[in-house]
Structure 1
Amino acid sequence: MALQKLVAVFAVILLINKGCHSRNSGCGNAALNTRIVGGQTAVPGSWPWQIVFKNADFFFCGGSVINNQWLLTAAHCAPSIDPDTTSVHLGIFYLNSFNPGEVIRSVAEVHCNPGYNSQTYNNDICLVKMSAPVNFTEFIQPICLADENSTFYDELSVWVTGFGITSKLFNISFFQQYCSLVPYQVLTLFYFQLGLGAVADTLQEVSVPIIGNNRCHCYNQAYSTVTDNMMCAGVEAGGKDSCQGDSGGPLVSLYEGLWVQAGIVSFGDDCALPMRPGVYTRLSQYQKWISDTVTGKKPGFVTFTSTGFDNDWFFSCDSSVFSSGENLRHFTHLTILSVFSLILQFFVSNGKM
């Protein structure tokens, strides 16, 4: 009798453990990534779920592989995704050079969350189906996704990857004050061609801590609302962040040997400014929508459980710190503001007008 009780208790423990972690060994594996906390330079294959979207060899957004035919990206990237012209590049580490494990696909379908709001960037998430499945290699792997029971506490270490802007001649706030919105592809073409910003040629990575939503809302209250569908990450002192061109890319963290995507690069106030963390789409809010939309093998969901206490519960906002914040403006990591005269200058200098 005692033995039967012991077996029953052991079985219950196994079931609880399986339910809590929802582990799926088919996702979140990066054999070439030896990084645990940091300190080493990335090598090809370090982030095998990273993809980029290109139109005519010009890249405009990132994304992540979630099964052999489906990708995740930001909804604000969708206007530039055209099934007739957009290519998807997987297994990519060098943006404009040869990649030994690179695979290219076209786009078959784009499904953005029906609740997406282009003004507030709430529900900034899209699913993209590729034209054909891909085979997984050491350079191409699906990322695990945070499920609906996941928790990401304040100060948790996460990683952001992408090919976005690494240096700027002018801060984006300069253009925000004097320019008007233009389509991303047009804008970034001029921005880079005129030498106003440099984009990375190799995949960039940065480790930043989670900033809890209470603290993030306090820091960002002058120009945006941080909803429960969003999460934030960044260094309070500034200097580390995602930036223009990183949009749609993954925010990931290592959990029990598996890499789990927590967020999608969405928007922020310029890049890497003090007390202006980047804002990301919170993936754990979309498990049902993703599962209902994706066809074929379902993505691997993992319950990411933060340990200890969430310091954000005890955060109190001192709004007096942000008394001059009324001059801040909202923009996305995809959309940059530009001056019409610069566009004219570009065309004139290239003899196209």
Structure 2
Amino acid sequence: MDETLQHIRKIWKTRDLLGTIILRPPDKTVTEKVVESQQISIKENSSAKPVETNQPGEGGQSQVISGCPPCKCGEVLKHVRIVGGIETLVNEFPWMTALMYNNRFYCGASLINNRYVLTAAHCVNGFSKERISAVFLDHDRSTATETQTITRKIKNIHRHRSYGYGSNYNNDIAVLQLDEDLPLTGKLQPVCLPPTGKSFSGFTGVAVGWGATKQNGQTASKLQEVKVPIMSM
């Protein structure tokens, strides 16, 4: 767990928008088809990987409990995207997680391996872990028949040690440990975490979540996506 937290503390300092900022795997070319017949192509040489969590095993040796090979991280489940869309495809973002408090949706998170999810610290600050649950593979929160969801309780909450100082959103990040491992399948996959020290400032990201679609509006029942510029903080 320590290595996971150390890695995340170095690379993530962003504000949660009832969802997550998606960074596509930088070791491949991603081409997006645009309505106006433009094309956006991003190429980078790097090595984004699913997070592996080391914990002490018997005899003081370390054992990897969340390696999840041969799963792939950070790949959306479709090959062509139409820019300007609002609702996502069902399970298009297979790492997207809905956090529930007393069985009511209140925040978004991202699956980073088969035992941990990443969210904003303000989503769990002051909340009782016994009342929080994580729901996976959901799309339309208004119906229980569209997808077969998986629910896990929260075993531990790890907030950034420097969160809460000042009036800004610096260090607004937390890792939640699930009470049971998840079965990683074609529909359920982790998001990639970027390499330590890598800057994506100037790139375009995708914000995903059940947040409001307009100012002061209600949260959406169906999973939404929107393109946003990535800025350094």
Question: Under a length normalisation based on structure 1, what TM-score does the superposition of the two structures give?
Answer: 0.43
Among 32, 52, 73, the alignment partner of 1:27 is: 73
- Tell me which moved more, 106-115 or 134-143: 134-143
- For residue 120 of structure 1, report the CA deviation from its aligned partner: 2.2
* 2: CA distance, partners of 1:80 / 1:100: 31
Q: Which has the larger radius of gyration?
A: 1
Give the letter aligned to residue 104 of structure 1.
T
CA contact (8 A) 2:109 2:119 kept: yes
Give the letter aligned to residue 73 of structure 2.
C
Q: Does residue 1:143 correspond to 2:191, yes or no?
A: yes
- For residue 38 of structure 1, report the CA deviation from its aligned partner: 2.6
- For residue 107 of structure 1, report the CA deviation from its aligned partner: 0.4
* 2: CA distance, partners of 1:43 / 1:36: 10
- For residue 36 of structure 1, report the CA deviation from its aligned partner: 4.7
CA contact (8 A) 1:51 1:63 kept: yes
Paired residues for 1:119-138 under 5 Å = 119-138=167-186
Paired residues for 1:276-315 under 5 Å = none
Identity of matched residues, %:
30
* 1: CA distance, partners of 2:168 / 2:120: 13
In the TM superposition, what whole-angstrom CA distance separates every residue of 1:65-98 from its partner, at most 9, and x where no partner exists? 0000100001111125422211110111112312
SS in 2 for 1:63: strand
* 2: CA distance, partners of 1:132 / 1:74: 21
* 2: CA distance, partners of 1:137 / 1:80: 33
RMSD: 2.3
- For residue 61 of structure 1, report the CA deviation from its aligned partner: 0.8
- For residue 199 of structure 1, report the CA deviation from its aligned partner: 1.5
- For residue 208 of structure 1, report the CA deviation from its aligned partner: 1.9
CA contact (8 A) 1:63 1:73 kept: yes
Give the letter aligned to residue 33 of structure 1.
K
* 2: CA distance, partners of 1:23 / 1:85: 33
Structure 2 unpaired stretches of 5+: 1-26, 28-44, 50-70
Paired residues for 1:38-77 under 5 Å = 38=83, 42-77=88-123
SS in 2 for 1:76: helix
Give the letter aligned to residue 29 of structure 1.
E
Give the letter aligned to residue 151 of structure 1.
S
CA contact (8 A) 2:48 2:194 kept: no
SS in 2 for 1:144: coil
Among 139, 143, 148, the alignment partner of 1:101 is: 148
* 1: CA distance, partners of 2:81 / 2:193: 18
- Tell me which moved more, 55-64 or 198-207: 55-64
Q: Does residue 1:116 correspond to 2:136, yes or no?
A: no
Question: Under a length normalisation based on structure 2, what TM-score does the superposition of the two structures give?
Answer: 0.64
In structure 2, the CA distance between the partners of 1:120 and 1:36, relative to structure 1 (3 Å rule), is same
- For residue 39 of structure 1, report the CA deviation from its aligned partner: 5.0
The equivalent of 1:319 in structure 2 is none
CA contact (8 A) 1:33 1:42 kept: no
